Amino acid sequence: MGNCILTVNAGSSSVKFALYEASEPPMPIARGQVQGIGSKPSFQFKSGGPEGRKEIDAPDQEAAFNVILSELQPLLKGQEVSGVGHRIVHGGPLRATPTELTEEVLEDLATFNPLAPLHQPHNLAGVEAAKAAFPYALQIGCFDTAFHRNHPWENDIYAIPRKYYKQGIKRYGFHGLSYDYVSHQIANERPELSNKRLIICHLGSGASICAVNNGYSISSTMGFSPLDGIPMSTRSGQLDPGILLYLLETEGMTPAELTHMLYHESGLLGLSGISHDMQVLEQSDEEGAKDAVDYFIYRVRREIGAMAATLSGIDALIFCGGIGENSANIRARICGRLGYLGVELDQAANSLNKRDISNGATPVMVIPTDEEQVIANAVSKFLVPAQ
């Protein structure tokens, strides 16, 4: 009987999964997702299983996980799931490597729920569901914050009384699994860039930009929480903290109301008043849609400039994430004013979403990210001694 590795990425309305052979490196068998949890849930294999999307009954993440297990059974073919890897958005100030999810670790991770309310509680609910389904499997957490744990001090601290830094109020950075994958892909495909200055733009429903030097994160647009930085589908991005004080004191908003607005009603949705979906906004003639897209592009371009300043230059610009990988228009508009950084697009290559889309001195690339592979690789390293 062979062994398999399952990876789980549980969010507020979706659960992504992937199944691998427990080999070195892990070889993919299938991947897919449940989305629309709590509203119009559906299941879909992206590869390795039957095609097509089907509606399911999944009011919560536990129900979604049970659907995934049912759909995977024919693919397991008697094999045992010996390890389950979980994307955990917040690992706190100390965790810089994948970690076995013991009860003690899970209790500690739950204390970070308020810092990532869209993600952390659902990540941990996914762990509990996996433990119930596979009680003898090794449960491993891989942290989105881990890739950023080597930031220089000045890139981590906020200019508030220093005692709060010691209490853990600092710039954590997120999307680390994505940046980890893309950085390693660059090193493998373009070894001449492996120790260079990279700016990686993870642009999707959640979006951030990371400055990488010699394979290490130097700075990220996301900070203490996944709210900071560039605007996202429904998250605000960077705000003047005075706005929050005004809304609390003058408008009388409660902390809960403010949290809901910042996480669920802002970003592209709040600006456009139409949709959180970039594809919908790009196709719309509404003024609100145009304004939202323009603001998104402006902020991304601005932060690329800031990251270039942090790195004292740029040797390559990389796009990943749903928007970064699929929207030639957004990439073209972002890069259109980056000539001062040596950025010039090959418009034909860009329109075809090719890997290399540059026509200038600075390489510009599109690299589809694969957080699941990073997680599976981590689990495999824990399992190898036992095999």
When pLDDT is cut at 50, 70 and 90, the band that residue 118 belongs to is confident
Annotated active-site residue 180? The verdict is no
* CB contact at 8 A, 180 and 156: no
The proportion of the chain whose per-residue pLDDT surpasses 90, expressed as a percent, equals 87
Q: CA triplet 162, 167, 172: central angle to 5 degrees?
A: 90
The residue that leads in pLDDT, 272 or 61, is: 272
Residue 214, pLDDT above cutoff 90: yes
Q: What is the CA radius of gyration of the chain?
A: 21
When pLDDT is cut at 50, 70 and 90, the band that residue 173 belongs to is very high
**Angstrom distance (rounded) from CA 303 to CA 291:** 18
Residue 387, pLDDT above cutoff 70: no
60, 144, 291, 370: which is the annotated catalytic residue?
Answer: 144
Task: Report pTM.
Answer: 0.94
Residues 6+ apart with CB under 8 A from 358: 343, 344, 345, 346, 364, 365
Mean pLDDT of 170-179: 96
**Angstrom distance (rounded) from CA 383 to CA 375:** 13
Check residue 24 and give its pLDDT: 87
**Angstrom distance (rounded) from CA 39 to CA 41:** 6
* CB contact at 8 A, 7 and 84: yes
**Angstrom distance (rounded) from CA 341 to CA 335:** 10
Check residue 77 and give its pLDDT: 84
Q: What are the helix (H) ranges across 41-169? A: 61-76, 103-110, 120-133, 162-166
The proportion of the chain whose per-residue pLDDT surpasses 70, expressed as a percent, equals 98
Mean pLDDT of 143-154: 94
Q: In this predicted model, what pLDDT tens digit does every residue of 14-29 receive, in sequence order?
A: 899 999 999 889 999 9
Does a cis peptide bond (omega within 30 degrees of 0) precede residue 41? no
Average pLDDT, the chain: 94
Structure tokens at 132: 């119930």
Widest pairwise Cα distance in the chain: 65
Q: CA triplet 23, 126, 169: central angle to 5 degrees?
A: 105
Residues 6+ apart with CB under 8 A from 206: 174, 175, 226, 232, 233, 235, 321
Q: In this predicted model, what pLDDT tens digit does every residue of 327-366 receive, in sequence order?
A: 999 999 999 999 999 999 999 999 999 999 999 999 999 9
Residue 386, pLDDT above cutoff 80: no
Q: What are phi and psi of 91, to 5 degrees?
A: -105, 0
Residue showing tokens 């009680």: 135
Residue 55, Cα to own-chain centre: how many angstroms? 26
* Strand ranges (E), the chain: 3-10, 14-21, 27-35, 42-47, 53-55, 80-88, 99-100, 138-143, 197-203, 207-213, 216-220, 316-320, 364-366
When pLDDT is cut at 50, 70 and 90, the band that residue 210 belongs to is very high
Domains of the chain plus CATH, in order, are 3-143 (3.30.420.40), 192-366 (3.30.420.40)
Q: Is 257 exposed, middle or buried (0-12, 13-18, 19+ CB in 10 A)?
A: middle
Closest CA to 201 of 225, 177, 218, 220: 220
The residue that leads in pLDDT, 343 or 133, is: 343
Residue 18, Cα to own-chain centre: how many angstroms? 16
With residue 262 as reference, give the H or E element that holds it.
helix 255-264
Check residue 36 and give its pLDDT: 87
DSSP state at residue 135:
T
Which letter, b or e, does each residue of 178-193 get, where b requires 16 or more Cβ atoms within 10 Å of its Cβ? Answer: bbbbbbebbeeebeeb
Residue 1, pLDDT above cutoff 50: no
Closest CA to 304 of 175, 235, 207, 196: 207
Check residue 385 and give its pLDDT: 58
Check residue 2 and give its pLDDT: 66
